A and B are shown apart, each in its own frame.
Chain A
Amino acid sequence: MLRFALRRLALALITLVILIFVIFLLTRVFPSDPARQLAGPFAPQERVDELNEQFGLDDPLWQQFGRLLVDVLTLDFGESFSQPGEQVVDLVRPALWKSTQLVLFALVMTIPISIAGGVIAARKKDTLLDRGIVTLGLASASIPEFVSGVLIQYVLGVRLGWFPAIATPPDDAGFLTTLDYLFLPALAIVTVYFGYIARITRAGTITALDSDYSRTAFMKGMTTTAVVRKHVLRNSLQPTVAVTGTQIGYLFGGLVGLEIVFNYPGLGRLIFRAATAPDFPLLQAGVITVAVIFMLCTLGADLLIAWMNPRARLNLGGQ
């Protein structure tokens, strides 16, 4: 198990370094004269030189890339372009915490609902209920997050007025009040990810129900519910765990649109503002943060699967 974990970790680190290189290309190599963009078209050349000096933009590229890797390791991304005097890390940290709250709340709702939906669909395979769950999941998962966000905001937040339409709780809000404010954006996330997770759980459950061990259990006279609980879920949830792990990373991409709709000061809105400023150090830090989260989630999912099923340890991730 330890051996598996270490090899899997090494693989994840290689992936991350390649990704940081791609981000480096996009933010430091391709933009022509970022210091000029930052200073504005009418700024004197001395100001541009000064900025180049300050951010080390004149150094050889390999040196800049090396420095970026060190920055990532030491969590020091320097000063923001767009908000002079602010450390990038101090801007990313609170935003990350805000987004994490939102995502955790959404996952706490999504995972049980979707697994239940998937198992029910599998047990009622080819009935109207099954078709309904699958089609609803497919439909709601294919809608962009900002669209579900706007629709939910209008119907539940404005028309019916059940929940706050804007997700900015007052500073002294307690736990429940915060949940109340976060409910609508979290619900938008649920509608998107219900489809993915329910679908994969359904497929896994159907396969597991068809297998020899389930047939034996049925022949022993166990009820379907008991078979599902004791034998099927343990096996059928493996793909579910894998997909959930991957999706958490992608979820942060969807946050960009959602956090703008609900005016929520999270990582998605931060990355969007950094991109339009453009504030390259902040953008770099934001995107690398999402990449690290993705890496940790997929890594966590793989380790969980390996722990659930020793056979999975043999076939090391990838391929």
Chain B
Amino acid sequence: MTEHTHQTGDPGAPFDDEIHTMDIVEAKGVIDAHDDLAEARSGADAAAERKQIRAERRRLLLRNPGFIIGMIIVLFWVLCALFPDLIAPWGENEVVRLDDGSTIPRARPSSDAWFGTDSIGNDVFSRVIYGARPVLIVAPIAAGLSVIAGALLGLTMGYLRGWVDEILSRVIEALLSIPVILLALMVLVVFGNTRPIIIATIALLFTPVVTRTVRSVVIAEAQLDYVTSAKLRGERSLFIMVREILPNVTGVLVVEFTVRVGYAIFTVATLAFLGFNAGDATAADWGLDVSNNYGLIQSNQWWPSIFPALAIATLVIAINLIADSIDQVSKS
């Protein structure tokens, strides 16, 4: 999705009057080449202007309905993940007992259990609340690691080029030609089904696509005047990459991170559905709960699987709405 999110940045978006970062960057480059005094002054101006743009973008984001709806849903799930015991009426492995002490396994949704109970007698609503936790621990960490790794690789490959870049580009192409889930299955089978390995696997498998995106942006940036003038000043490559180019690609990294979080949730849920949920068979986990209960749909016991499935759907849709609106605003 990254690819076309980038290509479809809405050309008709009504924000054309805004100052483009690119203009400032170029202007700054030209002045850099002239003299130090002007550079210091323009540096301050450019910084002020950048700050203004950031404020403007924040304002646009807060008016974007997709962003607001997405944020509300994500915040709700984050609260569930942080304080499940405050929201859920029962524990994740607690059996629902009525006042007379009787249990009600396989009960339809009712006032005793809003989302019904599963075959063990656990409260489906409570399990859905607790189930936010594993997903929201694994996905953001994995996405963050992949963006850090991808940024470092993409920056180095895109700026230094050469044969290392050639070879790594081939490897990236190869890795991108296999669906992530299939590679993840193989890695997890070989290295084991534990939480750190799941995080590392997802981070590793997302790194190629982040690298490719960052690399292509860096290649474009490296042709701009401010980089040329930095080279003429005799700056070291490391300095140019970290201090000159990196600040200009942070927007791309932010979009990339949000998009990756969405995909990471997608992947974590699918892996849990396939039985790779860090080895805890009774913990509340959306993907695992769907997997344990979807077989009952045909006997019309839909609630233990449909509610966690809807939970997954709302969270990924919300993250994607946020990613999409950040992408739109940062293109404007």
Residues of A within 8 A of B (CB): 14-16, 18-19, 22-23, 26-27, 30-31, 125-126, 135, 138-139, 141-148, 150-151, 153-154, 158-159, 165-166, 196, 199-200, 202-203, 206-207, 210, 239, 243, 249-250, 252-254, 256-257, 260-261, 271-272, 275-276, 278, 283, 287, 290-291, 294-295, 298, 318
Contact = CB atoms under 8 A, between A and B. Distances in A.
B7 A239 contact: yes
A253 B179 contact: yes
A142 B178 contact: no
Nearest to A126: B12
Contact of A253 (B11, B12, B181, B312): B181
B71 to A, nearest CB: 16
B170 interface: yes
Contact of B186 (A27, A144, A147, A298): A27
A154 B308 CA distance: 14
A144 B270 contact: yes
Interface stretch (B77-85, B234-242, B317-325): B317-325
Looking at chain A's contact residues, the main secondary structure is helix
5 contacts: A146-B270, A150-B294, A153-B297, A239-B7, A275-B186
Interface stretch (B119-127, B138-146, B220-228, B298-306): B298-306
A27 to B, nearest CB: 7
B8 A278 contact: no
Contact of B177 (A19, A26, A202): A19
User: Would you list the 7 A-B pairs with minimal beta carbon distance, nearest first?
Assistant: A253-B179, A18-B174, A203-B8, A142-B320, A19-B174, A275-B185, A253-B181
Contact of A15 (B173, B183, B186, B313): B173
Interface in B48-74: 66
A264 to B, nearest CB: 14
A154 B310 CA distance: 12
A12 B318 CA distance: 37
A276 B4 contact: no
Contacts of A159: 302
Interface string B190-208: 1100000000000000000
A278 B189 CA distance: 7
B175 interface: yes
A294 B179 CA distance: 9
A209 B173 CA distance: 32
Given A26-B187, A139-B317, A298 B177 contact: yes
A96 B210 CA distance: 31
A256 B186 contact: no
B262 interface: yes
